[in-house]
Amino acid sequence: MWGHPLRVGGAELCDTQWKFCEGADQFLSGETGLGKSTLMDTLFNTKFEGEPATHTQPGVQLRSNTYDLQESNVGLKLTIVSTVGFGDQINKEDSYKPIVEFIDAQFEAYLQEELKIRRVLHTYHDSRIHACLYFIAPTGHSLKSLDLVTMKKLDSKVNIIPIIAKSDAISKSELTKFKIKITSELVSNGVQIYQFPTDDESVAEINGTMNAHLPFAVIGSTEELKIGNKMMKARQYPWGTVQVENEAHCDFVKLREMLIRVNMEDLREQTHSRHYELYRRCKLEEMGFKDTDPDSKPFSLQETYEAKRNEFLGELQKKEEEMRQMFVQRVKEKEAELKEAEKELHEKFDRLKKLHQDEKKKLEDKKKSLDDEVNAFKQRKTAAELLQSQGSQAGGSQTLKRDKEKKNLGFL
């Protein structure tokens, strides 16, 4: 995994993978202008191509880009993970979660590879994050709550190196006070930033001195200006020129030396031995693995596996029994519901049947009444016709009698 070290100018670099996290932005109006991309270009003396961030997404997105850098015969695989949209939201309460989840995902991938029966860690693409440059806006006042919360969530997962971005935006006296204020707030809030190691005598003196300069106040620029007889990276202002590599102007050189030349291997070692081991231990404990039993006797992996397997099978059988009982109970409840529904249907059918019979009886009674009325009407009609016929016959007889009388009178 660590590769074979290559020595260049007294510096040890590795020709294998080196993961580098660009870090998180400070929440600030116009926070996309803190100069993270410019500083990375300046730090590695190259132009990293990447898609421009729109910063219009609703949440934080992590964008990872891997580059193969080459200088003389030294190769370096560099992965930059930028936190796009960090602090852009109105509600920043959960802004740190995507970063934590991303780091944990890289740890989990490495753990899964490590737990394989046939491991190939020497060729495994290690995607763990080895350093986090946390960019702080040069306000000159204090850290924001977002900074403190995020760094507190990250300090057990990654090596945090705080950086004051665009440090030429404030005066030298304000910068000194700002550094002291940041350090005090980090200590009072229990945030553990990366400390350059002092246990190695060869680097103890320089690392001890550099620890006192944290957080580094940096300036980035890819523009080269002619200063004296040399071309130097600098920033030109109406009032003068700021030289990036001038230690009297900023801490860029200190950051580059500590990050790339002196402590690169220690950053990787700290990631593996501290942050990854913490994740690995917590993860295995969650899975039920332990180093010792209650009697402080060592556990073998086979015994732990068998115990965990039996525990899992017991829980599985318990869940199956619970599901079976639940199924039986649901079936009984469903049968009761169906019986109740059947009973209600029978009752409804009986009510409808009785109602139908009552309606039928009413209709039959009404029909009989109508038949009686029709018969009575027919009888009255017949009687009326008979009376009318008799009346007509009586009227004809009287008419004949009157005619005879008239004739007799006329004759006489």
pLDDT of 291? 66
* pLDDT reported for residue 14: 37
Query: Do 327 and 319 contact (CB within 8 A), yes or no?
Result: no
Q: What is the per-residue pLDDT for 13?
A: 36
Instruction: Give residues with Cβ within 8 angstroms of 299, minimum separation 6.
Output: 289, 290, 291, 292, 293
Q: Distance (Å, rounded) from C-alpha 376 to C-alpha 373?
A: 5
CB-CB contact of 156 with 281 (8 Å): no
Q: What is the DSSP letter of 250?
A: -
In our burial notation (b when 16+ CB lie closer than 10 A, e otherwise), range 311-320 reads eeeeeeeeee
pLDDT in tens, 185-243: 999 999 999 999 999 888 999 999 999 999 999 998 888 898 888 899 999 888 889 99
pLDDT tens string 149-199 = 999 999 999 999 999 989 988 999 999 999 999 999 999 999 999 999 999
Distance of alpha carbon 276 from alpha carbon 104, whole angstroms: 9
- Binning the chain into helix, strand and coil, the percentages to the nearest 5 are 50, 15, 30
Question: What's the pLDDT band for 122 if we cut at 50, 70, 90?
Answer: confident
Question: With left for phi above 0 and alpha for psi between -120 and 50, is residue 20 left, alpha or beta?
Answer: beta
Q: 61-71 and 17-23: which strand pairing?
A: unpaired
Q: 61, 53 in Cβ contact below 8 A?
A: no
pLDDT for the residue 363? 92
Residue carrying structure tokens 């753990």: 111
Burial of residue 342, with CB atoms counted within 10 A of its CB: 0-12 exposed, 13-18 middle, 19 or more buried: exposed
H-run or E-run covering 173: helix 172-188
Q: Does the predicted TM-score (pTM) go above 0.75?
A: no
**Average pLDDT value for the chain:** 82
